[in-house]
Structure 1
Amino acid sequence: MTPLHRDDQGYCSWLPFVSLLKKEIHRFCRVYTQTLITPVIIASLYLFVFGATLGNRISVIDGFSYAQFVIPGLILMGVINNTFANSSSSLFMSRHLGHIVDLLVMPLSSLQIVAVYTLAAMVRGLVVGSVVCVISTFFAKLPWAHPFHALAMIVLCSFLFAQLGIIAGLFSDSFDGLAMYINFLLLPLIFLGGVFYPISILPPFWRQVSHINPLFYILDGFRHSLLGVGDLPLMGSFLFTTLLSLILFVASVMLIQRSSRFRT
């Protein structure tokens, strides 16, 4: 069946999917100052602080300035925050305002529903990440050692955190509950995953603790792709990120399909 397959009555079976996807993208585009411009400004401030003030004064990896080291983490941070925020807030608001009823009567499978929220979140996250990447060129030049690997890793990362956002939006019962996922899960993962420092400079005990953080593998793989230097083998980071993404995707589909929370 092709995406534009029509039945005998001329009905396009993928029309609800495309319509919902357009709606989700239009939702965050309407408030672009909050969803797109604000994250870019925040990332630009990080780039100014760590690029213009500290970038050429310190170095944590031989052969690279601190600005070159930190820019991959800032790009990834913009992607993660916005991808997670889009899928979690969209699903939560649909449940909170009762719009979920409209979604339930649409001829969409659980897989299609997850795909819609995932794709819309990825669009927002990757747009922000791309703009941050362009702005970063004013502060430091990255070697782009493995450009295709870097692109694949950032797409995988946005896909992964879109699934986390769906799960958070499904289980959050209030705005405070949704904020809890951000403040006590997302931010610790980001700041303790090696965005602003290399794991290799930590004492042995804390280095081992950092290996428990899944974001460490994602960030190290992305930084390795850009700089050509990392704490872990590049293929190992890719395999870990791919496996975790698939697990969370299956979990999201099953939760949408079986959870009574999705229907309340």
Structure 2
Amino acid sequence: MSEVATPRRFGRINWIGASYLYVKEVKRFLNVFTQTVAAPVITTLLFLAIFTLALGRAVETVNGVAFASFLAPGLIMMSMAQNAFANTSSSLVISKIQGNIVDVLLPPISPFEFTAAYTLGGVTRGTLVGFVTAIAMSFFVDMSIHNLFFVIFHAVMASMMLSLLGILGGLWSEKFDHIAAVTNFVIMPFSFLSGTFYSITRLPEPFYTLTQFNPFFYMIDGFRYGFIGQSDSVPMIGVAVMLGVNAALFLSAWRWVKSGYKLKA
């Protein structure tokens, strides 16, 4: 007699399905390592070279710290953020356009598992790019670490924040032009206007106050504090902001996925 098939039980969380989805996302960007990891490192090193060569003599120090040492953490963070966002947003948009998003929606994966797996995939790419970029920069800039907790915390939290924004952007976008608009009109302006290349203490009002409402500022400021021991805000405020923003973004992404927003016909 043939055995009767019985439904497979996964428990409260389908660890198998979530882990496979996460592995799929990691393999997706590792298969084009030159494009997804190596290229951002080269681009960031070019930014470092241009700014230090162009401004190195005019701005030798920032708050008593060598300009190159001040600039490097901001560039690393910007690279991590852009790649974490690109990972989740591009994956969802490509899957929706090609129609294979159904392969992710049909398996018994809950909205929470879906959101978590995509988010962790983006975090992995973002932190990997940051790690490789930091190693490459250490050959040209003093990359001594003042507080390892803040370096690791903000690297992970910033990558998570941009991964979640990438999920929201990928769900909302119906074509590549839409996700390009999110990148050009949201991600890039918030990144460049967050103290990546300068100390916000030099900004006049009202720009100084407005910058403190930019969550991108706290991820860069806290990450930089981990390296040089100086910040433009209270470091623990940045920790609270990152935790709060990520909680709100995860809840939003989870609810959009649960509702099938632009995922189900």
CA RMSD of aligned residues (A): 1.8
Q: Could you say which residue in structure 2 is the equivalent of 1:180?
A: 181
Give TM-score, length-normalised by structure 1.
0.92
Counterpart AA for 1:97: Q
Structure 1 CA distance for aligned equivalents of residues 32 and 229 of structure 2: 37
Cα distance between partner residues in 2 of 1:37 and 1:139:
17
Match of 1:247 in 2: 248
Q: Which residue of 1 aligns with 2:167?
A: 166
> Does 1:113 pair with 2:120?
no
Q: Does the aligned pair in 2 maintain the 1:56–1:67 contact within 8 Å?
A: no
C-alpha deviation, 1:223, in angstroms: 1.1
Pairing 1:132–2:103 present: no
Structure 1 138/191 Cα, relative in aligned 2: closer, same or farther at 3 Å? same
Q: What are the Cα deviations for residues 159-212 of structure 1, in whole angstroms up to 9, with x where unaligned?
A: 111100000000001111010000000000011111011100111222122222
8 Å Cα contact 1:55-1:68 kept in structure 2: no
Distance 1:133 1:51 in 2: 16
- Equivalences, count: 257
Equivalences for residues 148-167 of structure 1 within 5 A = 148-167=149-168
Verify the 8 A CA contact 1:51 1:139 in the aligned structure 2.
Answer: no
User: Post-superposition shift, 1:57?
Assistant: 5.8
The aligned residue for residue 45 of structure 1 is 46
Whole-angstrom distance in 2 between the partners of 1:62 and 1:105:
55
Is contact 1:122-1:158 (8 Å) kept?
Answer: yes
Instruction: Measure how far apart 1:54 and its partner are.
Output: 4.1
Distance verdict in 2 for CA 1:234–1:102, change over 3 Å = same
User: Once the two structures are superposed, what CA deviation does each residue of 1:207-241 show, in whole Å capped at 9, x if it has no partner?
Assistant: 12222222112111111221111111110010011
Shift of 1:60: 4.4
Could you tell me how far 1:62 is from its partner in structure 2? Answer: 3.1
Q: Alpha-carbon deviation of 1:40?
A: 1.1
Shift of 1:52: 5.4
Cα distance in structure 2, aligned partners of 1:263 and 1:152: 35
How far apart, in 2, do the equivalents of 1:227 and 1:49 lie? 21
Contact in 1 for aligned 2:221/2:232 (Cα 8 Å): yes
Letter aligned with residue 26 of structure 1: K
Looking at structure 1, the residues matched to 138 and 261 of structure 2 have their Cα atoms a distance apart, in angstroms, of 47
Further displaced range: 60-69 or 128-137: 60-69
**Further displaced range: 13-22 or 31-40:** 13-22
**Post-superposition offset of 1:124:** 0.9
Over 3 Å counting, the alpha-carbon distance change for 1:227 and 1:56 in structure 2 is farther
| Structure 1, unpaired ranges of 5+ | 1-7
What one-letter code is carried by the residue in structure 2 that aligns with 1:241? M
For residues 13-55 of structure 1, give each alpha carbon's deviation from its aligned partner in whole angstroms, at most 9, with x where no partner exists. 4322222222111111112221111111101111222345644
For the structure 1 residues 52 and 138, does the alpha-carbon distance in structure 2 shift closer, same or farther, using more than 3 Å as the test?
A: farther
Residue number in structure 1 paired with 2:84: 83
Unaligned runs of 5+ in 2: 1-5
Q: Is the 8 A contact 2:30 2:36 kept in 1?
A: yes
**What amino acid does structure 2 have at the position aligned with 1:233?**
V
Distance in 1, matches of 2:68 and 2:157, equals 24
Contact 2:84 2:126 in 1 (8 A): yes
The 1:154/1:15 distance shift into structure 2, 3 A limit, reads same
Structure 1 residue 143 corresponds to structure 2 residue 125: no
Q: CA deviation at 1:56?
A: 6.5
Change (3 A) 1:61 1:147: same
Secondary structure at the aligned position of 1:50 is classed as: helix
1:236-256 CA-partner distances (Å, limit 9, x unpaired): 010011100111011111110
